[in-house]
């Protein structure tokens, strides 16, 4: 269950980070009016790999703080309202209210709020931590897979670390069994 919760949080956090870009792409493809994307990238990791590692460490620390704050908020709401579904509805409204300050599409805001409320109410602390870690990494790091860009090396640090965490979570989920049924003896 630990690996499952981490993977679910990772997938939902990555989805939440990708939704604004998907929204911009969809509205431009359909020629609809749209809001611009937030530019929240921090440019420190572009200078050196050491700064990229330190920014990733800062993102991990920030993810832990935010995950603890989110779970504490849900705990307080559950105790105060005495019904889990009322607490989840109040949590959703608070997240939408706080998120409405930023210039993001209401559709994206509501979708991300629903995803966060789902993770908090259904999967718990580890999933919230993974959700926040993957969301913040995809939001704050200028990530690319284009080999020709000058910041490709700095992009590899969070990509490799996050994929490594996801791989460990997948390994834990499978209970040590090999992925796809391959074994050392059974391989051709």
For the chain, counts of helices (H) and of strands (E): 6, 0
* Placement of tokens 């509805």 in the chain: 89
- Write phi, then psi, for 20 (nearest 5 degrees): -60, -40
Structure tokens at 161: 């670390």
Structure tokens at 147: 């080999």
CB of 67 within 8 A of CB of 5? no
pLDDT of residue 80: 94
Distance CA 61, CA 136 (A): 11
Distance CA 84, CA 174 (A): 31
Quick one: which of 73, 80, 108 has its CA closest to 94? 73
pLDDT of residue 33: 59
Q: Which residues of the chain have pLDDT under 70?
A: 31-43, 180-188
Write out pLDDT tens, residues 115-165.
888 888 888 888 899 988 998 888 888 777 888 887 787 788 888 888 888
């Amino acid at each position: 269950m630990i690996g499952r919760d981490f993977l679910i949080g990772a997938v939902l956090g990555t989805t939440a980070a990708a939704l604004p870009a998907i929204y911009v792409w969809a509205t431009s493809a359909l020629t609809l009016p749209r809001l611009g994307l937030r530019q929240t990238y921090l440019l420190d990791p572009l200078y050196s790999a050491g700064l990229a590692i330190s920014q990733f460490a800062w993102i991990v620390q920030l993810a832990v703080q935010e995950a603890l704050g989110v779970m504490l908020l849900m705990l307080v709401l559950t105790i105060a309202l005495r019904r889990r579904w009322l607490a989840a509805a109040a949590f959703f409204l608070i997240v939408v209210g706080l998120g409405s300050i930023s210039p993001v599409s209401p559709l994206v805001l509501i979708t991300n709020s629903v995803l966060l409320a789902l993770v908090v109410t259904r999967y718990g602390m580890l999933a919230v931590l993974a959700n926040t870690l993957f969301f913040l990494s995809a939001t704050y790091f200028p990530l690319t897979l284009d080999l020709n860009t000058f910041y490709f090396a700095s992009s590899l640090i969070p990509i490799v670390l996050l994929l490594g965490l996801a791989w460990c979570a997948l390994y834990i989920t499978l209970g040590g069994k090999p992925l796809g049924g391959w074994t050392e003896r059974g391989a051709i």
